[in-house]
Structure 1
Amino acid sequence: MIAQLPARRHHLITLDSTAWDQVLADLEPSSHTYQCLCGWQAQGWPLVVSRQPGELRSGQLQVGIPLSTDWGRQRLSLIIPQTRSLAWGSFPPAHEAQTLLPVSLAQNWLSLCQHMQTHGCTAQVYGSYGWELITGQGYIREGSDLDLLLPVQSATQADRLVQLLSVASELPGLPRLDGELLFPDDAAIAWREWQQWRSGASRKVMIKRTHGLRIQSHSDWPEHTPTVESSHAA
């Protein structure tokens, strides 16, 4: 897969050896960070695009690596060269989280994923559950949220998905469901905050984008938002 710029939050990237050499060049080889990054590189695991700070120079990209429990549960933040040699990917589809849930919840979880698909949303799982699926390392702890990325095309679709998630959240034993609605214009809103805002329980909502965030106080939200061209190709 060849990168097409610009990158967006939650996209996964795999660095080539040249890019890794640039990342590691300024680090002390005996440092914990260096050792963790070498281990990450050796496994071929991806990095995740984070919100981009305004002070980045042209051609730079900020990415993150959340370390597992065995590696100290730190989140490393890196500035990498944004080149066409990067391979791009996505977090696992939500239905794969079934393997990390109790057997008693498997059918309910798959049913929820199918209902989301019926409403036009192919959800992905990120956070602790997503990274444990990707790496096989220990990320999930007691009380860990199950975070979902929810691509939506319209406010109506978002409302329907939130209703599904709200009902599913009442299932006994299911981890707390969290995550973001992702609109075509790169706007991302926590689904629980969207629910509060749309119901009138909250007067403001936080909108995250790859290049910043803002608070929206008025209740107007366009039914359809402009599409931002995809930043990676399969």
Structure 2
Amino acid sequence: MNAPLPARRHHLITLESTAWDQVLADLEPASHAYQCLRRWHAKGWPLVVSRQPGELSSGQLQVGIPLPTDWGRQRLSLIIPHALSLTWGGFPPAHEAQTLLPVFLAQDWLSLCQQLQAQGCKAQIYGSYGWELITGQGYVREGSDLDLMLPVQSATQADLLVKVLNEAGDIKGLPRLDGELLFPNDDAIAWREWQQWRSGASSKVMIKRTDGLRIQAHSDWSEHTSTLESSHAT
């Protein structure tokens, strides 16, 4: 077994059969959750690492499974032994969402992905579009946001990406773009909130981390973004 990577939000993992046995043993066989998890396991689909509650003991990991529409469209949350997980990888690259978009949007979408790439960002698709790409099941509905995971190395790069995404809002027929900027220190900030915060239009911003949440005041943003820059440099 490969040594597991440090778990972060949005990591996708698979489980060893031993871990699945432990998970299923705690559930009533006739329950909806049990039946769904058995099917999920049989398909070999991954689970996603979620925010970790403070009360978890060492060696445990909280993961989620968002069920598709035909399975009841709910999110199952599991506590698993980290030692019995195998790193599977990440969500699909952004350009693959082209297959789920109307044909007339294909070129605009690929152009947007190329613009993000030109800024040094290998964007990924998560949320409804990401899970439909992974499983082939129905997740995307009318009005579903198109969620982008945007790894960034600095505040300056984040600003450039937000500019590209804002301009993409003029593309007629494109689903609403949402998602997060992911910094190297595990800070994640919704890109729309980042834009409001950086411009001074919002006095606070929510920062998500694997181990919890915090609110950053606007008065501290210069110091905080300097920390983000220095964390990349080191």
In 1: Cα distance, 2:90 partner to 2:3 partner: 13
* Structure 1 residues 3 and 74: CA distance shift in structure 2, 3 A: farther
Match of 1:195 in 2: 195
Match of 1:224 in 2: 229
In 2: Cα distance, 1:38 partner to 1:174 partner: 36
Q: CA deviation at 1:170?
A: 1.8
Q: Deviations over 1:15-62 (max 9, x none)?
A: 110110011111000000000000000000000000000000111000
* Greater mean deviation of Cα atoms: 169-178 or 217-226: 217-226
Q: Deviations over 1:87-139 (max 9, x none)?
A: 33100000000000001000000001011001000000000000000000000
* Structure 1 residues 18 and 173: CA distance shift in structure 2, 3 A: same
1:143 equivalent in alignment to 2:143: yes
- TM-score when normalising by structure 2: 0.94
Q: CA deviation at 1:86?
A: 1.5
- TM-score when normalising by structure 1: 0.94
Contact kept in structure 2, 1:145 and 1:177, CA below 8 Å: yes
Contact kept in structure 2, 1:185 and 1:225, CA below 8 Å: no
Match of 1:66 in 2: 66
* Structure 1 residues 90 and 152: CA distance shift in structure 2, 3 A: same
- Report runs of 4+ in structure 1 exceeding 2 Å deviation: 1-6
1:37 equivalent in alignment to 2:37: yes
User: SS where residue 231 of structure 2 aligns?
Assistant: coil
Q: CA deviation at 1:4?
A: 3.2
Structure 1 unaligned spans of 5+:
228-234
Q: CA deviation at 1:84?
A: 5.5
Amino acid of the structure 1 residue aligned with 2:103: V
Structure 2 unaligned spans of 5+:
none
User: SS where residue 206 of structure 1 aligns?
Assistant: strand
1:212 equivalent in alignment to 2:225: no
Contact kept in structure 1, 2:132 and 2:139, CA below 8 Å: yes
Aligned-pair identity in percent equals: 78
* Structure 1 residues 225 and 7: CA distance shift in structure 2, 3 A: farther
Within 5 Å, which residues of 2 pair with 1:80-119? 80-83=80-83, 85-119=85-119
User: SS where residue 226 of structure 1 aligns?
Assistant: helix
Q: Deviations over 1:187-208 (max 9, x none)?
A: 0000000001111110100000
In 1: Cα distance, 2:2 partner to 2:205 partner: 35
1:122 equivalent in alignment to 2:122: yes
Contact kept in structure 2, 1:51 and 1:209, CA below 8 Å: yes
In 2: Cα distance, 1:6 partner to 1:93 partner: 21
Q: Deviations over 1:124-163 (max 9, x none)?
A: 0000000000000000000000000000000000000000
In 1: Cα distance, 2:183 partner to 2:165 partner: 17
Contact kept in structure 1, 2:4 and 2:83, CA below 8 Å: no
Match of 1:231 in 2: none
Q: How many residues align?
A: 228
In 2: Cα distance, 1:88 partner to 1:225 partner: 30
Contact kept in structure 1, 2:5 and 2:87, CA below 8 Å: no
Match of 1:232 in 2: none
Q: CA deviation at 1:225?
A: 4.4
Match of 2:164 in 1: 164
Amino acid of the structure 1 residue aligned with 2:201: A
In 1: Cα distance, 2:184 partner to 2:6 partner: 14
Contact kept in structure 1, 2:178 and 2:190, CA below 8 Å: yes
User: SS where residue 150 of structure 2 aligns?
Assistant: strand
Match of 2:51 in 1: 51
